[in-house]
Structure 1
Amino acid sequence: MTSSQSTSSRTFGNEDHLPRVPLPSLDDSGRRFIEWCAPLLTPDELAETERALAAFLRPDGPGRRLHEALAEYDASPGVHSWLDTFWPYRYLGRRDRIALNANFFFLFRESGQGQVERAAGLIAAALNYKARLDDERVPPIVQRGRPLTMEQNKFLFSTTRIPGAVQDTVRSPYSDEWPGPSQARHIVVFFRGHMVRMDVIGPAGRPHTLDELAAGLGEIMKNDVPAAAPAGHLTTKARAEWAASREALLAADPGNAARLYDVETALFCVCLEDTAPRDDLDACDRLLHGDSGNRWFDKAVSFVVFADGTAGINVEHCELDGTTILSFVDALMGEPAEEHSRQSEARSQGAPAVDTIEFVLDDALRADVREAAASFARYAADTATTTVSFDDFGASDAKRLRMSPDAFVQLAYQLAHKRSKGFVGATYESIATRQYRRGRTEAMRVVTPEVLRFVEAMDDPGADAGTRRAAFRAAADKHVERAKACQAGQVPEQHLWELQLIQKRRGEELGVTEPMALFGSPGWVKMRDDYLSTSSAPSTNIRYFGFGSTSTQCIGVGYVLLPDRFNVYLSTPAAVADAMHAFADRLREAVAELRELLTTP
């Protein structure tokens, strides 16, 4: 926005005035790509990558034609960003499971409430948020005087990912098919694999009271016989397989279409667990994957509430990033449920209508459900996880040491990885770009030449404390510089990736049909083959944040860095669990050692 434009107080009032995501020049992306991948490569691999890039960038090369097509698209009427097509391909085009692989979770702070009270309170708070959102009374987030895009808020309610044979789609409000906010008045409650439609908003458009919501949940929980064949298991399948199962579900009984419609248009899901987690790690694991018969992983928002009142959220990622969910959760938990209920003008109107959603299954579908359940249980069991907690270190401590808090922990990750595995590996960090129109995230690659010098100095017996401090600060400064470049959209990965996707979509039309060596080069492959995949969620309302790993050797690192504490959730394939546990041990040591290094004169 220009200085002459005032910030609108309406939720979506600033969207058309936000600056567009800048499209980097092709030559700049090529130069930055080499800078990013070089620290991971041998001299021979770097030379091979440079040759592939030169062929891509030559005046008559494929890169020029692809970039020209992208620039034309970016300037087309109705296009908000050159990434408008990229995001659907990135998220909806993936063909593996989204359960555990793509969805993410937050474990909420404790409330001291029991299960039904906490679930009813979350429902009431979410309904108040929706009422405010529908009227555009949720204030736009302003960061450093600039409003951020609020577009993702349109996908919080009644949004569901729909599996497709080739690419998934999204059923959501604010769309051509469904203009404006969702008019749905129901949620779907899961208990012991049963799916129940519960009307949480009455016929006159007012929410039910807290007592009535609690009574509705209590009524649902009276049916404590586990469901025989919970259809939720099907949402754990690889996407094309789930698409085929969904078609079979629709064909099995005429009424199944209406049952799917109830699930897919519900405002959100509430998953009531019949047991309490043993500890924080168990709660995190069950929020990440849990009892898949008691979930609908395609739903944008699913609140999960355990038998002891422990609660969290599982989020489908295709339209929602962590920053949006953080703001949502902060709003829900920022005031007591009674206040949310009052603000939403909830009124007493009798017990909410509840109706069991029971899909009609034939023998083949029942077998399909059983196999999906067993397959996902094996997959979850093949995932190793752990938590690392620092109660004596947080962002405030890093700042007192004149260090960027994020740079501090990211460099601690690098040192811990080097000491646990013997090398520095490709590391991804998600950087928010919501200051742009429909901005989402940018891919940051953490490993720099300064990082390599830092980890070398830390384990060099000949390096004194001053040398190590200097290397640490130089690497941190470079980290901050690169993060700022990501926030400014002046980075290479997603730009080059979109050019690769344009060839797949329009290669024949553009005359770019030959394989492009760049995307098989050591630099491209190694830079994107994560050993650490990291993302942060700073909120006092969140205890842990997590997601699955992204490759066979990757450790997923979800972290909550608060002023006074620092919690990390780690996940990796079970086959390499020992390396993850070694990384966790070295991380504890690295944080203490780096803190001491900056503290000592």
Structure 2
Amino acid sequence: MNVSQEAAAEATFAREGSLPRVPLPTLEASCERFLAWCAPLLTAEERAATEAEVTAFLRPGGPGRTLHAALEEYDATEGVHSWLDTFWPYRYLGRRDRIALNANFFFLFQDTGQGQLDRAAGLVAGALHYKRQLDEGLIAQVEQRGVPQSMVQNAYLFSTTRIPGVPLDTVRAPYSDQEPGPSTARHIVVFFRGTMFRLDVVGPDGVPHSLDEIEAGLRAVTKADVHTADEDRAGHLTTMARAEWAAARASLVDGHPGNARTLDDIETALFCVCLEDFSPEDTQTACDELLHGDRGNRWFDKAVSFVVYEDGRAGINVEHCELDGTTILSFTDALLGTPPEEHSIRSGARSQGEPVPRPLAFELDAPLRAQVRSAAEAFAAYGNDTATRTVSFGDFGSTAAKALGVSPDAFVQAAYQLAHQRAKGHLGATYESIATRQYRHGRTEAMRVVTPETPVFVAAMDDPTADRDTRRAAFRAAASAHVTRAKECQAGGAPEQHLWELELIQRRRGGELGIDEQPALYRSPGWLTMRDDYLSTSSAPSENIQYFGFGSTSSKCIGIAYVLLPDRFNLYLSTPRAVAGQMHAFAEHLREAVAELRGLLAD
């Protein structure tokens, strides 16, 4: 397919260099905002202690000045896209716990009524069409309210795999120095009952197989007379803590030369398709299985894994290190917004003979088999120790919120705070992810939701002496403060990632910079309290998905993944099972809070 010069000029990544750089806040601005952000969660004594540490951090010649100067120098270095270029790998690839359930996220797609293989083949065809457009620069740059957004994450949708390492993981991906340009892989990896198969879905000339042939290849997978014993299902190893998995992976490669070839097939595959041999009993179970279903039928390090149940319901599990929800939303909207037949035709697919699946297997010795077994058992127990819940409002959405004269996100975030206060008896640090893709290589910013107006609002709502006007005014003030802070974050004016990167610079380069110890700011009540999540929230608005979800981020945190659309509002909640009662109380109070706030604002 020839690409016209005009289309090539609009190539997907072509405008990245013209996007503005992520602004680097001044040290004073971040410290001032940090104090303001943590203050509502602190006692007077804790505030004073935190202020003292900020003063020490900011003093002339103090550690803050030295670290910030190093960051300014880095930001001005040729080839650096953003002062966050090093932050993101350390934030995501530096985490040492398991990424399955703890970091990967999922979308449950809308049902189509298709059968399993029909549905799976359609997803493959749609993804192949998207890849072909991406390779040829034909994916239009996303715009939000007319503002162009960064498209670099699209480079990590295909043939991208996280590789475990010590002390950091790495990423194997196309568009890199090691593998320049788009992925040349022609295969996907299909999982069925714990057995992996390589399935070539693109012909030698780069043309996708026809929809019928892809479906026939998937059917052949389900009919193959191959059984992988539980202890040979190496996908379980991807559920381990990262350093342990890195050691196990080294043993895999060292133990048998064929294992390196199998790993190469998995890591270079365009994506994974996980065919399940069961149908979830309900929507919540479908979500849970997308988040932490295993049975050796996943490779959690793969950037993109489509999961299709026996009854045709489907979703996606995403490895988070290079991909955020906004990019996956654009990708899945492109997949799900067009019929599979049309994707197939537009991609230039043609009949080339049915692709023949080839089983992939690892040679495992006794110690590795023992590791597979223990990894499977440990992850199953971890999943069982996670409590989840879906909450759905069929009569409320962003249209209703706007009709009440309030920002939809401000409305639901205020409702979360009121529900949390009533469920637990206090407020707590609340994280909200704010997209900042309008900047070069932009990703997200960390917003802290509890403003000084928040405690005033929740107190007024539960004060029997407060009248309706008082409560309404308190709500309006809290909602307005929320919108103001969200805009600050979008404009690059949030303190947390800036101060966090300064801490990381001290860890990486403290010796050379003459700062041998972690600055006391990072042990202050304000820093520890502001970042100790009680609620971790993120939104994914799309008509094509039912639910979005992720695991909670601490021992007492409720993860809140929400889909807020004009006519509906769906949430997936997760928390450690030990505190499940608080999550269920929160869900009940949230229902009441939404109704109560609608009533309050309606007149």
Instruction: Report the TM range for the smaller structure's normalisation.
Output: over 0.9
CA contact (8 A) 1:101 1:549 kept: yes
- Aligned mates of 1:326, 1:114 — CA distance in 2: 23
Indicate the SS of the match to 2:223. Answer: coil
1:203: how far off? 1.3
CA contact (8 A) 1:432 1:442 kept: yes
- Aligned mates of 2:455, 2:384 — CA distance in 1: 35
Identity %: 70
1:422: how far off? 0.2
**1:389 aligned residue:** 392
- Aligned mates of 1:535, 1:591 — CA distance in 2: 18
Given the alignment of the two structures, is residue 39 of structure 1 paired with residue 40 of structure 2, yes or no? yes
Residue identity opposite 1:383 in structure 2? T
Query: Given the superposition, is the C-alpha separation of residues 226 and 579 from structure 1 closer, same or farther in structure 2, using an over 3 Å criterion?
Result: farther
1:9: how far off? 3.0
Moved more, 8-17 or 276-285: 8-17
Aligned residue runs from structure 1 range 201-240, under 5 A: 201-223=202-224, 226-228=227-229, 229-240=232-243
- Aligned mates of 1:532, 1:492 — CA distance in 2: 19
- Aligned mates of 1:500, 1:203 — CA distance in 2: 49
Which sections of structure 1, spanning at least 5 residues, go unmatched? 1-6
**1:542 aligned residue:** 545
Selected match of 1:523 from 518, 526, 529:
526
Given the alignment of the two structures, is residue 322 of structure 1 paired with residue 325 of structure 2, yes or no? yes
Aligned residue runs from structure 1 range 399-410, under 5 A: 399-410=402-413
1:205: how far off? 1.2
Aligned residue runs from structure 1 range 90-239, under 5 A: 90-223=91-224, 226-228=227-229, 229-239=232-242
1:224: how far off? 6.7
Aligned residue runs from structure 1 range 344-423, under 5 A: 344-423=347-426
Runs of 4+ with deviation above 6 angstroms: none
1:225: how far off? 6.3
**1:76 aligned residue:** 77
Aligned residue runs from structure 1 range 56-71, under 5 A: 56-71=57-72
Indicate the SS of the match to 1:356. Answer: strand
1:417: how far off? 0.2
Moved more, 144-153 or 565-574: 144-153
CA contact (8 A) 2:506 2:518 kept: no
CA contact (8 A) 2:507 2:518 kept: no
Aligned residue runs from structure 1 range 266-305, under 5 A: 266-305=269-308
CA contact (8 A) 1:192 1:224 kept: no
1:143: how far off? 1.7
Moved more, 535-544 or 349-358: 349-358
CA contact (8 A) 1:156 1:301 kept: yes
**1:26 aligned residue:** 27
Moved more, 310-319 or 250-259: 250-259
**1:441 aligned residue:** 444
Indicate the SS of the match to 1:577. Answer: helix
**2:4 aligned residue:** none
CA contact (8 A) 1:236 1:292 kept: no
Residue identity opposite 2:332 in structure 1? V
**1:3 aligned residue:** none
- Aligned mates of 2:295, 2:346 — CA distance in 1: 35
**Please, what is the CA RMSD of the aligned residues?**
0.9
Residue identity opposite 2:86 in structure 1? T
CA contact (8 A) 1:104 1:545 kept: yes
Indicate the SS of the match to 1:575. Answer: helix
- Aligned mates of 2:439, 2:382 — CA distance in 1: 38
- The C-alpha deviation readout for 1:418-438, integer Å capped at 9, x for no partner, is 000000000000000000000
- Aligned mates of 2:205, 2:496 — CA distance in 1: 50
1:75: how far off? 0.3
CA contact (8 A) 2:193 2:295 kept: no
Given the alignment of the two structures, is residue 333 of structure 1 paired with residue 368 of structure 2, yes or no? no
- The C-alpha deviation readout for 1:57-100, integer Å capped at 9, x for no partner, is 00110000000000000000000000000000000000000000
- The C-alpha deviation readout for 1:387-415, integer Å capped at 9, x for no partner, is 10000000000001110000000010000
Residue identity opposite 1:516 in structure 2? P
- Aligned mates of 1:280, 1:262 — CA distance in 2: 33
1:292: how far off? 4.4
- Aligned mates of 1:476, 1:225 — CA distance in 2: 58
- Aligned mates of 1:542, 1:35 — CA distance in 2: 37
- Aligned mates of 2:244, 2:427 — CA distance in 1: 37
- Aligned mates of 1:351, 1:179 — CA distance in 2: 30
- The C-alpha deviation readout for 1:348-389, integer Å capped at 9, x for no partner, is 011113111010111111111001000000000000000100
- The C-alpha deviation readout for 1:525-564, integer Å capped at 9, x for no partner, is 0000000000000000010000000000000000000000
Residue identity opposite 1:319 in structure 2? E
Indicate the SS of the match to 1:294. Answer: coil
Selected match of 2:512 from 489, 509, 513:
509
Number of residues of Structure 1 aligned to a counterpart in Structure 2: 594
CA contact (8 A) 2:503 2:518 kept: no
Moved more, 329-338 or 351-360: 351-360
1:515: how far off? 3.1
- The C-alpha deviation readout for 1:492-547, integer Å capped at 9, x for no partner, is 00000000000001101111113311000000000000000000000000100000
Residue identity opposite 1:526 in structure 2? T
- Aligned mates of 1:459, 1:350 — CA distance in 2: 68
**1:486 aligned residue:** 489
Aligned residue runs from structure 1 range 448-463, under 5 A: 448-463=451-466
- Aligned mates of 1:9, 1:463 — CA distance in 2: 57
TM-score of the superposed pair, with normalisation by structure 2: 0.98
1:144: how far off? 2.2
**2:254 aligned residue:** 251
Residue identity opposite 2:430 in structure 1? T
1:226: how far off? 4.9
- Aligned mates of 1:73, 1:493 — CA distance in 2: 18
